[in-house]
Chains A and B, each alone.
Chain A
């Protein structure tokens, strides 16, 4: 289904012919985001270039009661930009202006379509960077980062997106333009800026963002701890932080990931290791080596066979490339993967990883682990063949068992990828009915007719869980129905 002729004409009048698309190739291209397990083609895709155009488009969509979704680069991993219910996609790629750099106040104001890494590139010569660094930072947009409250390896020390957003401008569901926050923290009143961050595009469409800039560390020491067991690597994490040291990043890769990245990128990781731990310290050069010596001893005391330090920037870059491109490297060993994003208390890492290994063994599929160990933010990658329906079903079931395990250990469903459609049904496992209703009541304020990104975050009526109040999201009746799997999420697989 594409646009009706009269509606298409109205969009063309606002945007121009080249910025209204509903041909089959476009619909196919926009049928999913980074979560390829679920697909649904949009009604069409609009490419506004100005706030005025965006407001006009939203008002028109409202008039026709057509649901719509903002989309950045489509790198999201929870299906937040999948156009359930044939929603119209509003592609924000044209909002890529860098509006202002304010070095004394350490801020930068950008359009939502600016690529995450572009911000750092823009201010690097001045000695600053934008801290949240999701693995997709070469492709993902800052607007998408705000919508999902994205993280990355360096959030252990520097925090996630919400800690780095000072202000934003957004268009609400009815076309009203609002500004939240300012050029510094310390605004009076409820932190609506914090509320909007991570709302997965259900409160409005962001048109401008003011971010904090962080000073570049004078020096970084990147270490690689090599382990004969995953458990020992996990214990190292607690030992470092227990000593009062907060590294810039602590990342763990298990032997399957080591094999995949060695095959793809050859960073020089030992193939006989069960796990490697990347630990990075940063700050002033004075005293940093002394701190690194303390960490090296802690790693060895908790079982590291060897601890290597990156000798120069090139070696450091090689290690980080292996970490950040680990998901892509999986392509060397598996046709498809399904990544989870549960969070657990850091002290429970050994138990939960044992449980994941047991789940994988029982299922017959392989589960690889590369994750933010310092935050307890897991990324189990379930390897499967997309062409094998039985494996697709198993992958989904494994994902659900892992989520269940995270909740049981006092954790949460998602640390940085968001809930999207992928984990919506699990929200009722995490929160009480009152708490979920309360969240939906907030959504009803911002998005009373549920036109903005419907079907995300909350359990859907008619599926496994019930939503007791708020505006009920529409059924996912129009999703591709070629591959249904009976699972808790009840969504297309």
Chain B
């Protein structure tokens, strides 16, 4: 394995161009913060050469008055959030992994609990710079919050998982920090919270996030986040209490739920999966899967069955995703778990974003659940934009049945 690393855009461009010229594939990495192999362990070309962008990490601009920021791809999300916080702002992005690089959260199209109200990356990305399949540095979008000048290549690169080019800088619109963020929390010894969340959803109460996690003793800890001025918060708390009864505890943002190692909503702007993994005392070799599904599919998911089989889960029920972990660490068991989850997800619109553990997994293991609709078009687009086949990414490797 070899890695090329530079903080100079010109040097990176030159290196990428030479790879294109000689048709030698490589994979892109940011800060190496993803403790599970998000993009599957094997790519079709078995590329073993990496381009690291962690030194390409400068701030290009930050205009607090216009609430826009542009940074290079290697900048860590923690540093970016700290910079924004000084102006009482934040990027409402929810990296799963602590201190992920900006390039990686864009390439993987990360999202999380805040998306429910504040939107995901596709709602706040306004410009991008990347090195394309000809080795050229190209820009799309810009620095303004609304822009329909030409094709939206920012979104084409969003979620491209390193397969369409090397993302070198990204511009975002940012937002003011939520006013007086709070949460209501409670322990549940069954899935009784699911119909209550559904009832709250039907009442159209404007929450910032909802997050439910398995506890170590196989109960559930549910958190419901909200913000606003005092009368607004009081109303939301009344509405939540009307649905859930009086058993929930109100905590200010950042306060820990007593007796638990993980408090829902915690570190949601910085990456929370490491914390939850530690709370569950799991390691990288254990089984990890991340699934997305529509609200109705999540509200009707057989969580009870999975809980009984000792799965640990972190759920964002509205809109929605489920992070599964299991302490089994042999390949056969893990593949069985994967099949169980695939079967339970049922709806073709449900997707598996990644799987990891002891499995030498590939996109083939995920099958159609691992790729978006229009996948054949995506594969053809990759071949068109990366004719030399240098941007190695296993996402594009699934062999579809004829």
Contacts from A to B (Cβ < 8 Å): 102-106, 127, 148-149, 151, 155, 159-160, 162-163, 167, 172, 178-195, 197-199, 215-216, 238, 241-242, 244-246, 283-288, 290-291, 343-347, 372, 375-377, 410-419, 423, 427, 430-432, 434-439, 441-445, 457
Contact = CB atoms under 8 A, between A and B. Distances in A.
A375 B147 CA distance: 10
A291 B229 contact: yes
Interface stretch (B16-24, B63-71, B248-256): B63-71
Contacts of B233: 287
B374 to A, nearest CB: 4
A105 B296 CA distance: 6
Nearest to A170: B374
B147 A343 contact: yes
Which A-B residue pairs are the 10 nearest by beta carbons? A194-B155, A287-B232, A244-B176, A186-B292, A286-B235, A215-B204, A287-B231, A182-B349, A187-B372, A415-B146
B230 interface: yes
A103 B234 CA distance: 27
A25 to B, nearest CB: 33
Which of the listed residues B176, B228, B373 has the most CB atoms from chain A within 10 Å of its own CB? B373
B107 to A, nearest CB: 10
B286 interface: no
A193 B375 CA distance: 12
A345 B156 CA distance: 24
Contact of A192 (B146, B156, B294): B156
Contacts of B176: 241, 244-246
**Contact-size category for B:** 35 or more
A168 B265 CA distance: 32
A186 B381 contact: no
A411 B341 CA distance: 47
B385 A445 contact: yes
Nearest to A372: B146
A413 B149 contact: yes
Contacts of A198: 148, 151-152
Nearest to A348: B66
A190 B391 CA distance: 14
A244 B227 CA distance: 13
25 contacts: A104-B295, A149-B148, A151-B146, A163-B122, A182-B349, A185-B111, A187-B159, A188-B161, A188-B352, A189-B371, A190-B378, A191-B158, A192-B381, A193-B155, A195-B151, A246-B176, A286-B232, A345-B63, A410-B144, A417-B148, A419-B149, A427-B149, A430-B150, A436-B150, A438-B136
B274 interface: no
Given A198-B152, A290-B231, A346 B371 contact: no
B372 A238 contact: no
A376 B388 CA distance: 41
Contact of B152 (A184, A186, A195): A195
A244 B151 CA distance: 31
Nearest to A286: B235
Contact of A185 (B63, B67, B120, B202): B120
A181 B373 contact: yes
Contact of A194 (B156, B230, B378): B156
Interface string B152-176: 1111111111011000000000011
B159 A190 contact: yes
B177 interface: yes
B156 A441 contact: no
Interface in B109-145: 109, 111, 115, 119-120, 122-123, 132, 136-140, 142-145
Interface in B212-240: 228-236
A346 B204 contact: no
A434 B349 contact: no
A127 B374 CA distance: 33
Contacts of A106: 295
A103 B202 CA distance: 8
B385 to A, nearest CB: 7
Contacts of A418: 148
Which of the listed residues A198, A285, A377, A412 has the most CB atoms from chain B within 10 Å of its own CB? A412
B232 to A, nearest CB: 3
Interface string B171-215: 000011101000000000000000000100110111000000000
A296 B65 CA distance: 20
Interface in B81-122: 88, 109, 111, 115, 119-120, 122
A160 B151 contact: no
A248 B351 CA distance: 33
A284 B206 contact: yes
A292 to B, nearest CB: 11
B357 interface: no
A188 B109 CA distance: 8
A179 B374 CA distance: 5
B72 interface: no
Nearest to B379: A189
A240 to B, nearest CB: 11
B390 interface: no
B270 interface: no
Given A186-B292, A188-B372, A345-B65, 16 more contacts: A104-B299, A178-B377, A184-B319, A185-B292, A195-B151, A246-B175, A283-B228, A287-B230, A376-B145, A413-B149, A415-B148, A418-B148, A431-B140, A432-B139, A439-B140, A445-B385
A445 B176 CA distance: 39
Given A246-B175, A430-B149, A186 B228 contact: no
B377 A185 contact: no
Contacts of A197: 152, 155
Nearest to B296: A104
Interface in B16-71: 63, 65-68
B138 A435 contact: yes
Contacts of A245: 176
Contact of B142 (A178, A244, A412, A434): A412
